[in-house]
Amino acid sequence: MSGSHEFVVVANRLPVDVQVSSKGKVSWDRSPGGLVTALHPVMQSQDGAWVGWSGRADTELDAFEADGMHLVPVPLSKAEVANYYEGFSNATLWPLYHDVIVNPVYHRTWWNSYLEVNRRFSEAAAGAAAQGATVWVHDYQLQLVPQMLRRLRPDVRIGFFNHIPFPPVELFGQLTWRKQVVEGLLGADLIGFQRTGDAANFLRAVRRFTDFTPRGQSVTIGQHWTRPERHVRVGTFPISIDSTQVDELARSEKTAQRAAELRRELGEPDVLLLGVDRLDYTKGIRHRIKAFGELLAEKKVTVPTTALVQVASPSREQVEQYRNLRQEVEVMVGNINGDYSSWGRSAIYYMHHSYPQEEMVALYRAADVMLVTALRDGMNLVAKEYVAARHDLGGVLVLSEFAGAADELGQALLVNPHDIEGLKSAMMRAATMEPPERRRRMRALRKRVLSGDVQSWARKFLTALAADRNPHE
Ligand code: F6P
């Protein structure tokens, strides 16, 4: 079983939104996202293939070409969407890997579906990869693919990158299938994480739950009579954004005009606070709204001189915890607006939508304070986008210390979002910060964000993967 592609990406989703007409005609739009931006050049230069789910249940599609990439759809039935995607990936692993902010749910049927779907992805990857190809597997939905693929295709180089945190062993140990998951990942030649803490947690999990003993940043998989000894390397590769593109977009006249227009539409507040998140309980949206509500109650801020815009893009709406969160957030927003809004002027402008990137960058430019209050986050690219959009050195970033971005963005106002008083103080400090301090902090943040982008992130990972040759080969 082998194919013709020298480079294969395996990710839960394809990088396009697929539409199928009633006559079965397939059309697609490129879906925005950092990963496709990063990998598009590599895909084009190396005749790459991308293996992933189209996002539609019960839809069998042939492989197709899109935007110079060869796309290999992996079908999922309705039951698999419920058990593998909404269930094991997003109601078991997602909360478990994000500090059990909500309780993970464990079901054996979900695990069986996760096994089955990971097997299907592995087979699709094995079918697409040429002899000796490089295969890069992404994220928590596909942790068993490296080992399954290695069994099918011992000739390929396998990299794995985890976009979300890897939990401490004390939490990870709850997972009945912890050994299988760690061994699944150890099928890779290189395993990448966002933060050094994630890599350390993984290495501890290897020590605790498998028969292998890590040495430094590497794990040796012992010799077997059919296979030579193999070294798995574990590293830290903090992901970034297409910073140049965001910077250029933010500098455009059109964006500047739209930013001014947005401020006018919001009634020219003195201070505009902004939150932009997927509607996910990991993002600390409730904490931020609570803090804002208390500042209003204490009259530290008032309407209409201060406004909060909260963009909460719809996400995983079939999963119970996400539906509960939406209810809670919307009740909070309703209460605060009921108490503090005036005719035509709201305390909170809550948008349950996704917007095109142009509109988001205009919002970043319009906002005086960006609130990133995640309770746990692999990286948080919104924080980096806000910084990349502020060439004017205006704006203050309030950033949770529990977001991966905090490791790099120390010049933000770092907060513990659980500490509501601390969060309120940081919000006030940000809102009233003197321009020289604001400029100094933003300049330092920009230096960091603009010095590395998502393309260089991909290059670093792939260079490490290529260099990491087994000495016995
Ligand atoms: O951050 C992890 C991640 O899976 C991203 O890769 C993705 O963009 C986001 O969460 C949304 O996930 P989903 O594919 O479940 O909508």
378 CA: nearest ligand 1 atom: 1
Q: The domain 5-239+456-466 is classified under which CATH number: 3.90.980.10, 3.40.50.2000, 3.20.20.70, 3.90.220.20?
A: 3.40.50.2000
Closest CA to ligand 1's atom 15: 316
Helix, coil or strand: residue 70: strand
pLDDT in tens, 190-233: 999 999 999 999 999 999 999 999 999 999 998 766 677 899 99
**pTM check: above 0.85:** yes
Q: How far is it, in rounded angstroms, from Cα 313 to Cα 154?
A: 41
**Does residue 315 line the site of ligand 1, with CB under 6 A?**
yes
Q: What are the boundaries of each domain within the chain?
A: 5-239+456-466, 243-451
> What residues contact residue 226 under an 8 Å CB cut-off, 6+ apart?
none
43 pLDDT tier (thresholds 50, 70, 90)? confident
Residue type, 305: T
Q: What are the tokens at 48?
A: 């790459």
Q: How far is it, in rounded angstroms, from Cα 94 to Cα 163?
A: 11
- Measured CA to CA in angstroms, residue 452 lies from 190, 217, 368, 384, 398 at distances of 21, 23, 25, 11, 21
Strands (E) in 26-102, as ranges, are 26-30, 49-53, 64-66, 69-73
Phi, psi values for residue 67, rounded to 5°: 55, 40
Assign a CATH topology to domain 243-451. Rossmann fold (3.40.50)
Q: How far is it, in rounded angstroms, from Cα 151 to Cα 148?
A: 5
278 CA: nearest ligand 1 atom: 11
pLDDT in tens, 389-440: 999 999 999 999 999 999 999 999 999 999 999 999 999 999 999 999 999 9
**Does residue 31 line the site of ligand 1, with CB under 6 A?**
no
Residue type, 344: G
**Does residue 376 line the site of ligand 1, with CB under 6 A?**
no
pLDDT in tens, 342-360: 999 999 999 999 999 999 9
Percent above pLDDT 70 for the chain: 97
Q: Bin 277: left if φ > 0, else alpha if -120 < ψ < 50, else beta.
A: beta
**Does residue 163 line the site of ligand 1, with CB under 6 A?**
yes
Q: How far away, in angstroms, is 302 Cα from ligand 1 center? A: 36
Chain-wide mean pLDDT for the chain? 95
Degrees to nearest 5, angle at CA 417 with 353 and 447:
80
Residue 382 in contact with residue 405, Cβ under 8 Å?
no
Q: How far away, in angstroms, is 253 Cα from ligand 1 center? A: 32
**Does residue 150 line the site of ligand 1, with CB under 6 A?**
no
138 CA: nearest ligand 1 atom: 6
> What residues contact residue 355 under an 8 Å CB cut-off, 6+ apart?
311, 363
Q: How far is it, in rounded angstroms, from Cα 70 to Cα 136?
A: 15
Q: What are the tokens at 2?
A: 């082998």
- The per-residue pLDDT for 225 is 63
Q: How far is it, in rounded angstroms, from Cα 29 to Cα 254?
A: 24
pLDDT in tens, 10-22: 999 999 888 888 8
pLDDT in tens, 84-128: 999 999 999 999 999 999 999 999 999 999 999 999 999 999 999
Q: Where are the alpha helices (DSSP H) in 129-242?
A: 145-152, 169-172, 178-185, 196-209
**Does residue 316 line the site of ligand 1, with CB under 6 A?**
yes
Please determine, for residue 30, whether its predicted confidence score (pLDDT) is greater than 80.
no
Parallel, antiparallel, or unpaired for β 348-351 and 413-415? unpaired
What is the residue whose two structure tokens read 């693919």? 145
Residue 369 in contact with residue 398, Cβ under 8 Å?
yes
Q: Which of 31, 27, 35 is nearest to 9 (CA)?
A: 35
The yes-or-no answer to whether 5-239+456-466 and 243-451 have a common fold is: yes
Q: How far away, in angstroms, is 289 Cα from ligand 1 center? A: 23
Q: Which of 280, 277, 320, 39 is nearest to 308 (CA)?
A: 277
